[in-house]
């Protein structure tokens, strides 16, 4: 599976958009980008995933660059409840498992 | 619709003992994966069960074993516990769709079992 690189931590003001970057420069053409988040002491929560096109759901938007070497998770209006560790994961085409890195600790501040 | 449920929520064992953790997948799911999460780290893949067989395995010793039952629920067994086995053990379930790339398979996680080995 391709490796991902994320900042260790980020701050965001409540009500503002949170933009979380992820670098996956070695991604292959058939590998998907997934985002999960983990609020303290809970199990990881699925947020969104995509292959090539930008994706949006009720939780977030995923922007994947044209060369697919990086992506950005956007939380449009961050709330205090969005404080969590966010994991960007690249999943291989023929594997049904995730390799989690260290993630980004997002701190949403009032 | 119940999500992924795990039991127990917390467990304390001593070195050398054996432990069994249990997982019930989300309704309609047929695949169960187990992860170990040490404090301050991301989850690490242990193994995955589908059709009652271990399909994929991470870099864990054979002290870690599992089982999947006909109702798709699963157990994780750890023998000869070490202090380093203290962690949050997570179960994730998913549904394999014939003809669809496994990479599209979303896994949904339970809240985990916190194991402390003393």
> Chain B residues contacting A, CB < 8 Å?
4, 31, 33, 35, 41-45, 48, 50, 55-56, 58, 88, 90, 92, 94, 96, 101-112
Give helix then strand counts, H and E, for chain A: 0, 9
Ranges under pLDDT 70 in chain A: 1-2, 93-94
Model pLDDT, residue B101: 66
Model pLDDT, residue A1: 57
User: Each residue's pLDDT tens digit in chain B (118 positions)?
Assistant: 679 999 999 999 999 999 999 999 999 999 999 999 999 899 999 999 999 999 989 999 999 999 999 999 999 999 999 999 999 999 999 988 777 766 677 899 999 999 999 9
Examine residue A104 and say whether the peptide bond preceding it is cis (omega within 30 degrees of 0).
no
Chain B residue at shortest CA distance from A39:
B111
Environment class of residue B3 by beta-carbon count within 10 Å: exposed (0-12), middle (13-18) or buried (19+)?
A: middle
Q: Quick: pLDDT tens for A50-73.
A: 998 899 999 999 999 999 999 999
The mean of the pLDDT values for chain A is 92
Model pLDDT, residue A29: 82
Whether the CB-CB separation of A7 and A107 falls below 8 Å is answered with: no
Residue B97 has which token pair? 């769709």
Walk across the sheet containing B64-68 and list its strands: B5-7, B19-24, B74-78, B64-68
Q: What backbone phi and psi angles, to 5 degrees, belong to B84?
A: -70, -5
Model pLDDT, residue B54: 93
């Amino acid at each position: 599976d391709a490796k991902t690189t994320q900042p260790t931590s980020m701050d965001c003001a409540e009500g503002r958009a949170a933009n979380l970057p992820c670098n996956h420069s070695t991604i292959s053409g058939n590998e998907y980008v997934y985002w999960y988040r983990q609020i303290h002491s809970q199990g990881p929560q699925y947020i969104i995933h995509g292959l090539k096109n930008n994706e949006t759901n009720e939780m977030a938007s995923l922007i994947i660059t044209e060369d697919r070497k990086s992506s950005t998770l956007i939380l449009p209006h961050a709330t205090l409840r969005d404080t969590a560790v966010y994991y960007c994961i690249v999943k291989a085409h023929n594997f049904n498992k995730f390799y989690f890195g260290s993630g980004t600790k997002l701190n949403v501040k009032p | 619709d119940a999500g992924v449920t795990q039991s127990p929520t917390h467990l304390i064992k001593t070195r050398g003992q054996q432990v069994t953790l249990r997982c019930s997948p989300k309704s309609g799911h047929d695949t169960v994966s187990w992860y170990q999460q040490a404090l301050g780290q991301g989850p690490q893949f242990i193994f995955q069960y589908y059709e009652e067989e271990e399909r994929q395995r991470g870099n864990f010793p054979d002290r870690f074993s599992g089982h999947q039952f006909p109702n798709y629920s699963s157990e994780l067994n750890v023998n000869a516990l070490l202090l380093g086995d203290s962690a949050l053990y997570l179960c994730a379930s998913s549904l394999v769709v014939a003809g669809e790339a496994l990479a599209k398979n979303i896994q949904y996680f339970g809240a985990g079992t916190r194991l402390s080995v003393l």
